[in-house]
């Protein structure tokens, strides 16, 4: 059986097959009330989609405007017949639908499709959205429908058009369009042209008997368009008393020459039947942009509520609009306009209304202005589903672009826009729409092409974009009937008046945009974190916009972001010191996260336009750096991790795994040649000129032509780890350097044999690089300098000898320089060198990239990456450093140097958060929360401790108050293990892993100890706490907790608590009872005065991880305890019963590196607000007030809940920083807002965290009573 429209075979179904409806993942427009199905169309659509799934994954439904493409597609998706059952079998994961339109907001559309598949992370730009779609849809079986596509540039932002990804074999893209030739021929699109309606189908839409004499004439005048026929049929039914079928035919015929479009002609005639008020209401819809669903409450505000309900019903009955319920049945109704209906009202409004369409925008702004809670403050407008999303568009269309620009630079607007809409993607698009085309420093390392960037929110287009819209309007005005007479194009929507963005405003826009982009992954989950993120990222930024945003963020934080369930307080946390967040204007430009495993190798071409990456996920990816970092090719032919990649101009790419080498064509993304059959495993490969390539396998170097023919070989003395080539002078001569496993570098000269038949190789010299493997090498372009990175953590540089030593073939870098050590603390996996040889970048397993000034041998830049650096390149234009680890990151080299200069200046003046040279070993705070102290080892060149480095801090500013080093004999290697600060903040006790304790003056820090106690414990001291003005306590691996008198300089109490050592402890306010955690024992609640164990906190899980407690805290009344254990759980306990009340699971995967909690002093000292942290850069805020009132004997079975579960009602927020958090310090008792107990009323609610690189970061708990 074949369909009469298309000739496609119709699928056959068994009668016993159960009927099922398709799973709709997004909003799919409902069918009109007068919907008439077309015979066999569902079967043809199914056949087209099925064929596309087997071929290219792309299929289209095309036809003229008004022919029912959207309705036919929606009917196909919403059907419940046999075709729907078969469709669900093909795509069991469902269908996601998006309307694209002429001027799409691509970023929001990409985000909506991703949300349909559970991916909630906000997008940086459209290139990021494209890459995320490739990633999220990989391996799925689903259908994506893109309705009303006008440009191929829009289509390719959602799907690959050149080559179908191997992981997309179960994904099909169905798009509707008016243009049969929209997609390129090589895309392999399966096309279905929507045929004309039959006379029977047309008469059904008209509501006219088939034998009526005027049927043929009306069908012709309506061009067999379902929409035009529906409008005429509704007109006849509504105006039955005044118009006959013959009258309608005459009126339509009279307009045929004036308005060739059948749909707009039908609307024009039907609109004559509207009342003057209803017609005016209809024409005022011209104020809205294309393809926007309009919430009815917003229409009531904008157009007036008097009679609006009746007008909407009337327009709906005439098929001018459709009123739809919100997706999933919730929310207000929405109005949808067909684009031809919107064209009609825009054309008519421009011709009939005084002031044209611009006057409508002014009226809309006037209506919204009257609804503001505070006159003149747009951020106090109504949250009606349209105001915050559309205001900028209407300001610009009304000629108030300068006001739109000023509005987005107001903190109050940014905060209100995000708070009410919870749409960070839309807010980012708002700012992008006002930036000049080259004005987005945050999103792309190079200016993006027009096709790569989404237009502004709600289509606030640039003049260039409006010019395109005018050109498209000519095509849009085509008549619905293919044979209709030619027509004039309607007037295009007027462009908003062009306005210049000053340098100052551009900088301000970029600042605000960068805050949003850096925080988007957080704001997408919790928009309330904008003040926290903005404050932290702008602390050290000196600009008017930064100051304004920072002030607004602090004001918002002071009121409290998160209200406790009791309703008595609202709380928040404000950053105090810089360094906790990636700074605005910092070096990180982009992150590319499409690889699913380690990125092992990177290479960039000569003009810095293409990047090739290879990964352990067995794929090779090609990125277009000149076009918003868009993924150009996803190449997947390897069966093993990709070990090496190389690129030859923009023509060829090379990739190598342990078994084979593949050459790829970059113009079509095709496999050109595969070379295999090697005896031993391969390690790396490189291009040699434009016709050859070199491959390394153990000790053997092999050379091949691009056709795969062997052209030479050379043998080394040891296995090859790395290869690098350069072409110093001759076009037929190269220098090849091989990094080897025996700490050597072999330097070869390669020549092309006469006739180009092969490669000759000559060993020039063997160089020595340290004592371990040389994993990375890099030449300067001229070959006059070679740099290598070794497993002995050092860099090695070789330069060419003086001029007299050069050979006629060109220089060879054989003159060695002293090794550069101290830059890294682990293997160096990657090196890169600037073309002039002035700068060298290195990266390794220590998660750090260093930039070295070759002349001075001093570091001039540093990057911290969350995972080991596996690969790295520097672009030839010296603008970017690109790193490969768990993802790909693009860094600005100039900003990297600027950041280093700022950091050095901060360290010299003891600025906030800077000062320690190694990881902090101890961190503590005074009782009033004003002074903090931190300590680390002062290491010498051999990494041995030469003393104790102590810094005192101001908690209010985060600035260092003073610093000293307590010298210690190097042979004793005395390393600090913990620290505590006296209540007044004037003294500190530092304990060491050699069981010594040091009493030191703190204000200012003094290098001469006040007291040194040798052998304070029999083993390493692990924890300490200051109890009162004269007393502090220590806990050691000998299992004892000892109490010490400062005045008497002696131990006044020693109690054995844990057999395997005390790991952490927290004293109650009476200083007699203590909660302590052992190394591998459950926590114990002990009375030191009576030396008795009051209870043991047992969770029922006796595993090592549950017993190992990394941090613990007590409520002020000591009736509740909070513990953080190495099984990633936070537990709440009742004391003194030791009963477990609640367990919160899966807080972090990195608890062994840093995990703890602290309780605030709530009303009556009860449990309430709790702050916890983990190494994964997160601060958790908890409200456990209800557990303070729970009687242990009446408590239900302890509930264990996942921290991200809806059942976890205690979590207020998860605040995200950009540094790992290792240690936490707070005042011993710090009050909640409104708590005015004598002991804690004057205490500053300070939090201090240390990271793993010597940084200390300060925060302040903010809030207000009542919320």
Per-residue pLDDT, averaged over 115-126, amounts to: 81
The Cα 117–Cα 397 span in angstroms is 35
Q: Which helix (H) or strand (E) holds 772?
A: none
pLDDT of residue 871: 94
pTM for the full predicted model: 0.78
pLDDT of residue 721: 83
Residues 6+ apart with CB under 8 A from 306: none
Whether residue 149 is predicted with pLDDT greater than 60 in this model: the reply is yes
Whether residue 255 is predicted with pLDDT greater than 50 in this model: the reply is yes
Q: Are 300 and 289 in contact (CB under 8 A)?
A: no
pLDDT, tens digit (0-9, with 9 covering 90-100), for 622-660: 998 887 788 888 888 899 999 999 999 888 999 999 999
Whether residue 465 is predicted with pLDDT greater than 50 in this model: the reply is no
pLDDT of residue 437: 64
pLDDT of residue 1153: 76
Whether residue 485 is predicted with pLDDT greater than 70 in this model: the reply is no
Per-residue pLDDT, averaged over 393-422, amounts to: 93
pLDDT, tens digit (0-9, with 9 covering 90-100), for 1108-1144: 888 999 999 999 999 998 888 999 999 999 999 999 9
Q: Measured at the alpha carbon of residue 878, what is the angle toward residues 873 and 880, in degrees to the nearest 5? A: 55
Whether residue 377 is predicted with pLDDT greater than 80 in this model: the reply is yes
- SS3 string, 546-615, reads HHHHHHHHHHHHHHCCEECCCCCEEEEEEECCCCCCCCCCCCEEEEECCCCCCEEEEEECCCCCEEEEEE
Per-residue pLDDT, averaged over 27-35, amounts to: 81
User: Which of the four pLDDT bands, split at 50, 70 and 90, describes residue 497?
Assistant: low
Structure tokens at 645: 């990649």
The residue behind tokens 């260092």 is: 960
Q: Are 1082 and 1064 in contact (CB under 8 A)?
A: no
pLDDT of residue 183: 79
User: Which of the four pLDDT bands, split at 50, 70 and 90, describes residue 326?
Assistant: low
Kindly report the average pLDDT of the chain as a whole number: 84
Task: Give the E-state strand segments of 940-1061 in sequence order.
Answer: 945-954, 960-967, 976-981, 987-992, 997-1001, 1011-1013, 1021-1026, 1031-1036, 1040-1045, 1050-1056
User: Which of the four pLDDT bands, split at 50, 70 and 90, describes residue 484?
Assistant: very low
Residues 6+ apart with CB under 8 A from 15: none
Q: Select from 1085, 1090, 1129, 1088 the least CA-distant residue to 1107.
A: 1129
In this structure, what are the phi and psi dihedrals at residue 629, rounded to the nearest 5 degrees? 60, 35
The Cα 923–Cα 1223 span in angstroms is 7
Q: Are 517 and 533 in contact (CB under 8 A)?
A: no
Whether residue 1037 is predicted with pLDDT greater than 80 in this model: the reply is yes
Burial of residue 713, with CB atoms counted within 10 A of its CB: 0-12 exposed, 13-18 middle, 19 or more buried: middle
User: Which of the four pLDDT bands, split at 50, 70 and 90, describes residue 138?
Assistant: confident
The Cα 132–Cα 919 span in angstroms is 36
- Within a 10 A sphere around the Cβ of 799, how many other Cβ atoms? 18
Q: Is 809 helix (H, G, I), strand (E, B) or coil?
A: coil
CA dihedral for 749, 750, 752, 753, sign (positive or negative): positive
Structure tokens at 741: 């496993």
Structure tokens at 436: 């000049």
pLDDT, tens digit (0-9, with 9 covering 90-100), for 802-855: 544 444 455 677 777 778 888 888 889 999 999 888 999 999 988 889 999 998
**Helix count (H) and strand count (E) of the chain?**
27, 66
Q: Measured at the alpha carbon of residue 1169, what is the angle toward residues 1168 and 1174, in degrees to the nearest 5? A: 130
* DSSP annotation of 1161: B
The Cα 991–Cα 66 span in angstroms is 81
Q: Which helix (H) or strand (E) holds 1002?
A: none
- Within a 10 A sphere around the Cβ of 241, how many other Cβ atoms? 5
Q: Select from 263, 260, 254, 259 the least CA-distant residue to 231.
A: 263
The Cα 830–Cα 1203 span in angstroms is 38
pLDDT of residue 758: 85
Whether residue 916 is predicted with pLDDT greater than 60 in this model: the reply is yes
pLDDT of residue 477: 35
* Most confident option among 566-575, 1015-1024, 1076-1085, 1190-1199: 1015-1024
pLDDT, tens digit (0-9, with 9 covering 90-100), for 1217-1254: 988 899 999 999 888 766 554 445 578 999 999 988 88
Residue scoring higher pLDDT (601 or 5): 601
pLDDT of residue 454: 25
User: Which of the four pLDDT bands, split at 50, 70 and 90, describes residue 1103?
Assistant: low
* Most confident option among 409-413, 753-757, 772-776: 409-413
Whether residue 496 is predicted with pLDDT greater than 80 in this model: the reply is no
pLDDT of residue 479: 34
Could you tell me the CA-to-CA distances from 765 to 722, 744, 779 in Å, in that order? 16, 10, 15
Return the half-sphere exposure (C-beta side, CA atoms, 13 A cut-off) of residue 593. Answer: 10
* DSSP annotation of 455: P
pLDDT of residue 821: 84
Residues in the chain: 1267
What percent of the chain clears pLDDT 70, i.e. is strictly above it?
88
Strand-pair partners of 633: 622
- Bin 399: left if φ > 0, else alpha if -120 < ψ < 50, else beta: left
Whether residue 907 is predicted with pLDDT greater than 70 in this model: the reply is no
In this structure, what are the phi and psi dihedrals at residue 320, rounded to the nearest 5 degrees? -75, -35
Peptide bond just before 1004 cis, omega within 30 deg: yes
> Torsion angle, CA of 503/506/508/509, rounded to 10 degrees?
180
In this structure, what are the phi and psi dihedrals at residue 844, rounded to the nearest 5 degrees? -155, -165
Strands 171-177 and 58-62: parallel
Angle between helices 82-90 and 41-54 (to 10 degrees): 10
Whether residue 1104 is predicted with pLDDT greater than 80 in this model: the reply is no
Q: Which helix (H) or strand (E) holds 311?
A: helix 308-317
The Cα 1104–Cα 1055 span in angstroms is 24
pLDDT of residue 491: 38
Whether residue 153 is predicted with pLDDT greater than 90 in this model: the reply is no
Strand-pair partners of 614: 601, 620
DSSP 221-267: HTTT-HHHHHHHHHHHHHTTTT--HHHHHHHHHHTTTT---HHHHHH
Q: Select from 824, 856, 827 the least CA-distant residue to 839.
A: 856
Q: Are 810 and 733 in contact (CB under 8 A)?
A: yes
pLDDT, tens digit (0-9, with 9 covering 90-100), for 516-560: 988 887 888 889 999 999 999 998 888 889 999 999 999 999 988
Peptide bond just before 177 cis, omega within 30 deg: no
The Cα 875–Cα 883 span in angstroms is 11
Q: Are 39 and 168 in contact (CB under 8 A)?
A: no
């Amino acid at each position: 059986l074949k369909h009469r429209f298309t000739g496609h075979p119709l699928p056959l179904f068994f009668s016993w097959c159960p009927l099922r409806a398709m799973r709709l993942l997004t909003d799919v427009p409902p069918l009109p009330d007068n919907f008439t199905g077309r015979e066999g169309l569902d079967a043809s659509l199914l056949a087209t989609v099925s064929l596309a799934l087997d071929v290219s994954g792309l299929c289209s439904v095309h036809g003229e405007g008004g022919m029912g493409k959207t309705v036919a597609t929606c009917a196909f998706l919403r059907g419940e017949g046999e075709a729907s059952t078969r469709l669900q079998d093909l795509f069991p994961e469902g269908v996601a639908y998006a309307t694209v339109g002429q001027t799409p907001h691509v970023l929001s559309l990409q985000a909506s499709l991703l949300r349909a598949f559970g991916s909630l992370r906000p997008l940086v730009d459209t290139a990021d959205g494209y890459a995320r779609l490739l990633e999220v849809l990989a391996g799925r079986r689903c259908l994506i429908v893109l309705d009303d596509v006008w440009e191929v540039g829009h289509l390719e932002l959602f799907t690959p058009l050149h080559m179908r990804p191997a992981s997309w074999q179960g994904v099909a893209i169905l798009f509707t369009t008016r243009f049969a030739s929209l997609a390129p021929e090589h895309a392999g699109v399966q096309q279905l042209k929507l045929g004309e309606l039959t006379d029977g189908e047309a008469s059904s839409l008209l509501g006219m008997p088939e034998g009526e004499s005027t049927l043929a004439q009306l069908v012709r005048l309506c061009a067999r368009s379902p929409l035009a026929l529906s409008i005429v049929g509704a007109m006849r039914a509504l105006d039955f008393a005044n118009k006959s079928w013959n009258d309608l035919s005459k009126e339509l015929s009279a307009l045929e020459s004036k308005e060739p479009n059948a749909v707009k002609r039908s609307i024009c005639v039907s609109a004559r039947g509207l009342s003057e008020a209803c017609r005016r209401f209809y024409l005022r819809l011209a104020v809205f942009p294309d393809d926007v669903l309009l919430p009815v409450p917003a229409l009531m505000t904008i157009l007036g509520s008097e009679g609006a309900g009746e007008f909407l019903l009337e327009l709906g009955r005439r098929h001018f609009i459709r009123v739809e319920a919100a997706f999933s049945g919730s929310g207000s109704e929405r109005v949808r306009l067909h684009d031809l209906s919107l064209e009609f009202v825009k054309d008519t409004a421009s011709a009939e209304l005084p002031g044209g369409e611009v006057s409508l925008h002014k009226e809309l702004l006037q209506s919204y202005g009257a609804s503001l809670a505070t006159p003149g403050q747009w951020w106090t407008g109504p949250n009606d589903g349209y105001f915050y999303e559309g205001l900028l568009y209407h300001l610009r269309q009304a000629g108030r672009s300068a006001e739109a620009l000023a509005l987005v630079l107001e903190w109050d607007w940014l905060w209100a826009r995000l708070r009410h809409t919870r749409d960070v993607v839309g807010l980012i698009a708002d700012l992008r729409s006002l930036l000049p085309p080259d004005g987005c420093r945050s999103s792309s390392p190079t200016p993006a092409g027009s096709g790569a960037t989404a237009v502004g929110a709600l289509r606030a287009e640039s003049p260039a974009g409006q010019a395109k819209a005018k050109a498209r309007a000519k095509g849009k005005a085509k008549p619905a009937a293919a044979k209709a007479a030619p027509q004039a194009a309607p007037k295009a929507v007027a462009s908003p008046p062009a306005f210049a963005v000053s340098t100052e405003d551009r900088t301000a826009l970029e600042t605000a945009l960068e805050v949003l982009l850096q925080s988007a992954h957080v704001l997408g989950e919790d928009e309330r974190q904008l003040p926290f993120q903005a404050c932290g990222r702008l602390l050290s930024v000196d600009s008017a916009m930064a100051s304004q945003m920072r002030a607004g963020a602090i004001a918002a934080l002071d009121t409290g972001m998160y209200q406790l369930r009791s309703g008595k307080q609202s709380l928040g946390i404000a950053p105090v010191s810089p360094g906790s967040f990636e700074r605005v204007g910092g070096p990180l430009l982009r992150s590319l996260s499409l690889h699913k495993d380690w990125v092992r190798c990177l290479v960039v071409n000569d003009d810095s336009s293409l990047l090739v990456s290879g990964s352990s996920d067995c794929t090779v990816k090609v990125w277009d750096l000149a076009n918003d970092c868009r993924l150009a090719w996803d190449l997947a032919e390897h069966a093993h991790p990709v070990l090496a990649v190389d690129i030859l101009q923009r023509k060829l790419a090379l990739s190598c795994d342990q078994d084979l080498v593949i050459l790829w064509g970059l113009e079509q993304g095709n496999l050109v040649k595969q070379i295999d059959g090697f005896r031993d495993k391969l390690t790396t490969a490189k291009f040699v000129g434009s016709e050859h390539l070199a491959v390394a396998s153990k000790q053997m170097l092999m050379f091949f032509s691009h056709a795969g023919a062997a052209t030479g070989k050379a043998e080394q003395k040891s296995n090859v780890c790395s290869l690098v080539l350069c072409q110093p002078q001759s076009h037929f001569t190269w220098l090849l350097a091989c990094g080897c496993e025996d700490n050597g570098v072999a330097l070869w000269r390669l020549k092309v044999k006469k006739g180009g038949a092969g490669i000759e190789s000559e060993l020039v010299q063997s160089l020595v690089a340290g004592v371990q493997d040389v994993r990375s090498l890099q030449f300067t372009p001229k070959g006059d300098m070679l740099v290598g990175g070794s497993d002995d953590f050092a860099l090695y540089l070789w330069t060419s000898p003086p001029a007299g030593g050069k050979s006629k073939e060109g220089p060879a870098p054989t003159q060695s320089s002293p090794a550069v050590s101290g830059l890294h603390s682990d293997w160096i996996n990657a090196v890169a060198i600037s073309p002039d040889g002035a700068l060298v970048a290195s990266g390794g397993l220590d998660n750090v990239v260093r930039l070295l000034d070759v002349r001075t041998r001093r570091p001039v830049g540093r990057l911290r990456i969350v995972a080991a650096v596996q690969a790295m390149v520097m672009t030839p234009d010296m603008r970017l450093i690109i790193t490969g680890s768990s993802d790909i990151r693009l860094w600005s080299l100039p900003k990297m140097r600027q950041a280093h200069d700022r950091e050095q200046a901060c360290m010299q003046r003891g600025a906030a958060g800077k000062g320690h040279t190694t990881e902090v070993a101890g961190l503590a705070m005074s009782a009033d929360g004003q002074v903090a102290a931190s300590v680390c080892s002062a290491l010498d060149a051999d990494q041995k401790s030469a003393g104790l480095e102590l810094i005192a801090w101001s908690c209010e500013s985060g600035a260092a108050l003073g610093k000293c080093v307590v010298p210690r004999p190097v042979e004793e290697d005395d390393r600090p293990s913990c620290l505590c600060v006296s209540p007044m903040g004037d003294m500190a006790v530092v304990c060491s892993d050699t069981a010594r304790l040091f009493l030191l003056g703190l204000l200012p820090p003094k290098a001469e100890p006040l007291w040194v106690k040798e052998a304070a414990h029999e083993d390493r001291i692990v924890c300490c706490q200051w109890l009162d003005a004269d007393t502090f306590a220590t806990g050691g691996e000998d299992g004892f907790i000892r109490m010490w008198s400062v005045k008497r300089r002696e131990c006044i109490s020693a109690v054995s608590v844990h057999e395997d050592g005390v790991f952490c402890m927290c004293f109650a306010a009476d200083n007699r009872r203590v909660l302590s955690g052992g190394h591998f024992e459950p926590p114990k609640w002990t009375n030191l005065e009576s030396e008795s164990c009051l209870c043991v906190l047992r969770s029922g899980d006796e595993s090592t991880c549950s017993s190992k407690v990394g941090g613990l805290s007590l409520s002020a009344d000591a009736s509740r305890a909070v513990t953080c254990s190495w099984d990633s759980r936070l537990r709440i306990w009742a004391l003194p019963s030791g009963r477990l009340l609640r367990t919160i699971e899966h807080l972090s995967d990195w608890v062994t590196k840093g995990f703890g909690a602290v309780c605030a002093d709530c009303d009556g000292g009860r449990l309430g607000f709790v702050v916890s942290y983990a190494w994964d850069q997160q601060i958790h805020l908890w409200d456990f007030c209800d557990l303070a009132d729970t009687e242990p004997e009446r408590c239900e079975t302890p509930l264990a809940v996942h921290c991200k579960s809806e059942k976890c009602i205690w979590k207020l927020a998860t605040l995200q920083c950009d540094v790992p958090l290792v240690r936490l310090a707070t005042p011993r008792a710090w009050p909640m807002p409104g708590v005015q107990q004598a002991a804690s009323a004057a205490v500053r609610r300070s939090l201090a965290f240390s990271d793993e690189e010597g940084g200390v970061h300060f925060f302040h708990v903010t809030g207000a009573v009542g919320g």
